[in-house]
Structure 1
Amino acid sequence: MDECGQVMLLSAESVHQLTGEQVDPAECSAVLPRRSFESAFSKYIEWHTPDPSNCTLHQLCSAWSCGSAP
């Protein structure tokens, strides 16, 4: 979550760029394959992605900033 309490989705690469820390998959509470993520969060994705023909994860990762969530 960000400082406004909004859900944030960040790739491991983005976390590394922002914090300098490497994400250790062993420390993650879960790792979902893309299809499993899209199935589990289908309504959230539907409500928060403007273009269903574009990459869902890219849209969600790049869309979040405090106060400007879709």
Structure 2
Amino acid sequence: MRLADLLRHSRSRRLSHSRLWANIACAAATIMFLVNGWRGSLTADIWLIYMGVVGGYSATLRLIAAYRDRSRA
């Protein structure tokens, strides 16, 4: 996978704004998570929010892709 694949639509190969902003949001959340970890100020609330946002987004994308593949078959 190339870095550009994170920003382009898989079929048209054009810039995908939804992919762009979703990856920016996940990167910003990850950076803030790491900063809070470095400072020693991670709480259970921060863990839950981070895992819910980043992990939930990834799980939702996989669920949608699986549903689309199943409906095409």
Q: Give the TM-score normalised by the residue count of structure 2.
A: 0.23
Larger C-alpha radius of gyration, 1 or 2? 2
User: Relative CO higher for 1 or 2, CA cutoff 8 Å, sep ≥ 6?
Assistant: 1
Structure with the larger helix share = 2
Q: Give the TM-score normalised by the residue count of structure 1.
A: 0.24
